[in-house]
Structure 1
Amino acid sequence: MPVQQRKVKGTPSDINVIYESKDEGKANAEAGPAAVIAVYQLSQKSEQELEVIEMENIILSDTLQQLTTGKEDNCSMCEVDWDQQAASCYSFSTSAKSWHNGLDACTAISASLVKIDTKKELEFLKHEMSKRVYVRQGQQFHFNFWTGLNYDNDIGNWTWADGSAFSFQLPLRLKEKLQTLQCHFTWNFEIRDKVDAIHILQTLALRIAHTHYQNQPALLAMQAYLCHLQGQYEDALQSLREAEEILQRDHPDNFPRQVLVIYGNYAWLYYHLAHYDLVELYLDKVRKICSSLKSHSPYAAQIPEIRAQKGWSLLAAGFRNGTEATECFQMALREDEANGEFLAGSAIAAFASWTHSHDSVSWNAAREKLSAIIHEQQQHFEAKVYLAKILKRANRQQAEALLEDVVQNSLDPEVLRNAAKFFQPEFPQQAIAILQRAISLNPTYHLLHYDLGYCYKKQLEGAKSGRREEILAAAIEAFKKAVQKDPTSVFAKLALAEMYGENTPHYQEEIYLNLMSEMPSLSKRCQQAVYLHWGDFLFYKQKSLWEAAKTYKAGFAIPDKYLERQQLKTRLEKVAGEFQQSSQTTEAEDIHDFIQENESP
């Protein structure tokens, strides 16, 4: 976003920090030239004299303050809607612009784009920008602004603030090297949408905070990558710093082998921030390590540590990646077959594969590997939960014994949430007790409240009339808290709407209409879910076949293959049946044709 800065008429074009008083009178005439000269010096003097210049600016700032003394309190050197900092006035654009468009907009009002020359100015701008947001497709974003890079008309090229030339070839050359790195920026995780990324970030934060397995640096590196996707670069860099510190502490003997992925992420992050000197610094670090490992590639090394870190990251991105993660850990184990971290990763990856295949081969592999891990790592509660799920039908007694240990001893809210899911279908009251303990450990995690509401919803299905209102109130309260903890959670809002529909359908309708208005900003899966629930409301509550059919069609037309799409198809077939029964055969045939046309190949 362009930040505009006022010029003083008649001053050199390369003066960076300048001001224009609202009053073109005495204050401007007397204070202006002095301020201009000081700032002109600041842009020309060597680094050794910066302290002197800074002091001169402070004195000049005090002088300006004295010159304006005696004016009314609301009298400012700056025009209305401009913010004053020292001797400069700043205006902040409310719309996104390219650099050239931003420059044109500034020139049209006799201002210039900001060029940041001091830390004080940078801190002022960061503070002001943090207070401003703009909306795009229903989502709020903080402003971003150009720093350091400007176009010099005299030489016809871009330059950095220190006057050094900018090369368009340098980023291209760097990117070619970056693309050969082994790190999260070159691995394909298939992050489906922003909602998926946010959910992964939430679960990652829990795992990092509550588990202390050897894979923590890999999870922090994954966290850094996801923060980058959200534009949270300082958070991303902080995650990498933490990962680097843990590796230095826990792996002092083979730190270079362990840190390659972290350095690769650093290089990519600084590339996106246009800090090309730091990109080259980290590329050089990677090159030196790869050279010491006698690698054939200057920026990659085929070592088990990297394969394992990729495996953990794939699992963090979703159990749908179980098969690929299994391959990573198997290759790592070929070179270090007794490594406990690799064995644990292989076991969890095997379980992840089974959750998507449910075949006997995957079941046996997961059971054997998880049993071996639990034997060696008694405190690996995540593995115990997964083994319990594997044994749920084959050995219910052993499964419940494993979960009893987990519930009594684990302090990981996500592990406890998974343990509660084991009991959710048949014993919701037991699941409620586990979730309440998890909430006591982390009351801000919205999925705990969502799952708690789901348990109450299950209880409601078979509740006696005397307890229905009590259970319904508990379900509504749980889903309300889930929405409060995460206002972006579409599924929590849909669940809350469904519970409101028991007694207050107008609240239910209001939630659906609000979600329909937000439709362009929602992920594809969330769009399908909203169309499904709104269609159900129209179909079952309002008995409007035409409107329900139209809504279900809109959802089914979204091609992404989620469970909701299959449910939308089922609803359309049911609506077609209703049309058929009422002798509206044309409408029924139209729905069947629509399904066939939009059916995925």
Structure 2
Amino acid sequence: MMSSAQDTNLKTRLLQLECHFTWGLNKNDMDLTDLLTRLEEQLNLDLGREAGVARTHSCMGFVNFLLGSNTKALTDFTRSVELTKSHGNSCEKLLVVVYGDLAWLYYHIGNFAECEIYLNKLGDIEKKYPVVPYAEVLGEKGWSFFKFSRKYYDRAKGCFNEALKLDPEDAEWNAGLAILLYRLQDSEASTAIGQLRRAIATNPNDDVLKVLLGLKLSAQKKRSEYNEAESLVEQALEGSPEHPHVIRYVGKYFRNQGSVDRSIALLRRALEKVSNTALIHHQLGLCYKKKVIDLKKAGRYHKRHKEIKHAQGQCIHHLELATEMKTSFIIAMSELALQYGVNRDFLKADELFQNTLQEAKEKKDNYQSVLLCYAEFEQYRMKCEAAAIKHYTECLKINPKSDEGKRSAKNLIKIANRRIEHNPKDGEAFGILGIVHKERREKQQAVECFEKALSYADNKDYLSDLSELRLSLQ
């Protein structure tokens, strides 16, 4: 039986470790079952890459612990150790994380003797490599933050940057930072492109990185970069024609370029290659959405009615499958609600939007994107401009510089200008413009709009906004 003082001493030593148990990974920040499924799928994608498989087993071990399965956790951590050791003594630093995990797991199990064994092993590594932090540990920490939740993306970015300061040419950390910057909406395109180039330079055979760079370059709308993007996508598809992530991103590239049918064919092929197909179904749903738009734009609606109806049905079908397979798939849920609205199933759409908004807000997962979708649904489907203005405004205030924030500002300006054109003394419309200018930090324009709003409408909210702005301009 361990005394209270001994337990306190042991816990103090454990809290000083660098591992999943001490990194503040909160189970409430993630869908554990979905995360475990994604990690299991990652094992198949990492076959032949011992370091990647070892890392994934280590993450799976912690998830299984959070799910209450200590036996499975022990199996995963042990497998991670075996795979890491297969690299030889040069990879001892990579054992730091999983040894820490094992020490914590044995502590929770109550096997304090095994816990001490792993603490002693960590002490031996520290004596051998006294200079800390290790780039290997920072890199593993970055990948864990990246894999576990979007909420941890900023922390992941910090870890990858610190790891690369210590080892600038490491392919794993360069790839991690590149993929992260690709996903971060508020990262500069040039920064993401530059890091993707560096990552490819350290690992020229990574076809996922190539297609991600192709997507970023094509989004710049420059002819020279478009040609390079086409070349990168062709290389990726030729090099990894069966890789699910390559197929998924190539499908997205073709959809963005207007080759919807080609994208659908590729994504349908991908369905045969992976077990967790929620992401593929989501992409297929977006493809059929684009197909409906293209068919309507082409005109001759009556002749194309059956084709449009079929594509709309397929869009909803694949989005429903995506949300069934991944119950916390916020973006897919939001898109599905929007498509229910397009299909004039307004009650179903509104109910799903309400549920999605609540879940997105609680999990802090794509809440701004859902708000934008809901605002557009209220404006264009429900014809409720007041509700649309409310949601656009909330969306704008979350982050005016994001794509969603910019689209919300654009829609608010359109609404306000149309109302002012109809009634030049519409105080609320000038108040809307004032809010947009304020969020964009265009203070003088905001003051002018709020002054007009107050002269045409008695609204105390505008008064507080105006007072705040006047003080800031002094």
516-525 or 431-440, which deviates more: 516-525
Higher strand share: 1
1:505 to 345, 349, 353: 345
How far the C-alpha of 1:453 sits from its partner, in A, is 0.6
- Within a 5 Å distance, the mapping from 1:315-464 to structure 2 comes to 316=147, 321=156, 324-329=159-164, 331-332=166-167, 342-347=170-175, 349-350=177-178, 352-353=180-181, 356-359=187-190, 363=193, 366-367=196-197, 369-371=199-201, 373-374=203-204, 377=205, 380-386=206-212, 388-389=214-215, 393=225, 394-408=227-241, 410=242, 412-426=243-257, 427-463=259-295, 464=298
Counterpart AA for 1:454: L
- Aligned-pair distance for 1:560? 10
User: Hey, what's the Cα distance between the residues in 1 that align with 2:347 and 2:354?
Assistant: 11
The 1:225/1:476 distance shift into structure 2, 3 A limit, reads: same
Residue of structure 1 equivalent to 2:126: 290
Match of 1:222 among 59, 67, 73: 59
Q: Which residue of 2 aligns with 1:7?
A: none
Partners in 2 of 1:273 and 1:598 — Cα distance? Answer: 52
Bigger mean CA offset, 557-566 vs 277-286: 557-566
- Cα RMSD of the aligned pairs, angstroms, is 4.0
Of 316, 319, 330 in structure 2, the residue corresponding to residue 490 of structure 1 is: 330
TM-fit CA distance, 1:262: 0.3
Which range is displaced more, 458-467 or 544-553? 544-553
Question: How far apart, in 2, do the equivalents of 1:279 and 1:551 lie?
Answer: 52
1:588 matched to 2:429? The reply is yes
After TM superposition, the structure 1 = structure 2 runs for residues 57-76 of structure 1, keeping only pairs within 5 Å, are none
Shift in Å, 1:440: 0.8
Distance 1:364 1:557 in 2: 30
In 2, distance between residues paired with 1:273 and 1:600?
55
Q: Distance in 2 between matches of 1:553 and 1:516?
A: 18
Once residues 175 and 324 of structure 2 are traced to their aligned partners in structure 1, the CA distance between those partners, rounded to angstroms, is 36
The code of the aligned residue for 1:373 comes to N
**Structure 2 counterpart of 1:243, which letter?**
S
- Give, in whole Å, the separation in 2 of the partners of 1:599 and 1:230: 44
Q: What is the Cα deviation at residue 203 of structure 1?
A: 4.1
Tell me by how many angstroms 1:483 deviates. Answer: 1.5
Question: Using the alignment, how far apart are the partners of 1:456 and 1:469 within structure 2?
Answer: 11
Q: For residues 202-232 of structure 1, give each alpha carbon's deviation from its aligned partner in whole angstroms, at most 9, with x where no partner exists.
A: 5433222222223221233234445556666
User: C-alpha deviations, 1:563-584, integer Å up to 9, x for none?
Assistant: 4444444444444445434536
Partner amino acid for 2:177?
A: A
Which whole-Å CA distance do the structure 1 matches of 2:354 and 2:440 have between them? 29
Which whole-Å deviations, capped at 9, do the CAs of 1:355-375 have from their partners, x for residues lacking one? 733338x7456436515523x
Distance 1:187 1:435 in 2: 36
SS of 1:215's equivalent in the other structure is helix
1:206 equivalent in structure 2: 41
- Structure 1, unaligned runs of 5 or more: 1-163
Alignment partner of 2:272: what SS? helix
Mark the CA change 1:432 to 1:172 in structure 2 (over 3 Å): closer, same or farther: farther
Q: State the Cα distance separating 1:519 from its structure 2 match.
A: 5.0
Q: 1:165 to 1:270 in 2, by over 3 A?
A: closer
The one-letter amino acid of 2:45's match is: H
What are structure 2's unaligned runs of at least 5 residues? 219-224, 443-474
Please state how far the C-alpha of 1:263 moved relative to its aligned partner: 0.9
- The answer to whether the Cα contact below 8 Å between 1:221 and 1:262 also exists between their aligned partners in 2 is yes
Alignment-mate amino acid for residue 445 of structure 1: T
Shift of 1:543: 2.3
Distance 1:329 1:200, change over 3 A: farther
* Residues 582, 449 of structure 1: alpha-carbon distance in 2 compared, 3 angstrom cutoff: same
Q: Any conservation in 2 of the 1:264–1:283 contact (CA below 8 Å)? A: yes
- Compared with structure 1, are the counterparts of its residues 553 and 516 closer, same or farther at alpha carbon in structure 2 (3 Å cutoff)? farther
TM-score with structure 2 length normalisation?
Answer: 0.72
| Aligned equivalent of 2:310, options 470, 473, 481 | 470
The percentage of counterpart residues that share the same residue type is: 22
**Does the Cα contact within 8 Å between 1:206 and 1:414 map onto a contact in 2?**
no
Residues 555, 370 of structure 1: CA spacing in aligned structure 2 closer, same or farther, 3 A cutoff? Answer: closer
Higher helix share: 2
**Cα offset for 1:484?**
1.6
Q: Per-residue displacement from partner, 1:481-520 (whole Å, max 9, x unpaired)? A: 1122122223222222222223333355344465268458
Give the 3 Å change call, closer, same or farther, for CA 270–553 of structure 1 in structure 2. Answer: farther
Measure, in 2, the Cα distance between the counterparts of 1:521 and 1:496.
18
User: Which has more radius of gyration?
Assistant: 1
Q: Which residue identity does 2:9 align to in structure 1? A: R
What is the distance in 2 between the residues matched to 1:430 and 1:594? 43
Deviations 1:222-259 (A, max 9, x none): 344455566665554443232123224x2344564432
C-alpha spacing 1:232/1:588, structure 2 compared with 1 (3 Å): farther
Partner of 1:3: none
Pair 188,509 (structure 1): closer, same or farther in 2 beyond 3 Å: closer
Alignment map for 1:480-559 (pairs within 5 Å): 480-512=320-352, 514-515=354-355, 518-519=358-359, 522-555=362-395
Q: 2:100 matched to 1:264?
A: yes
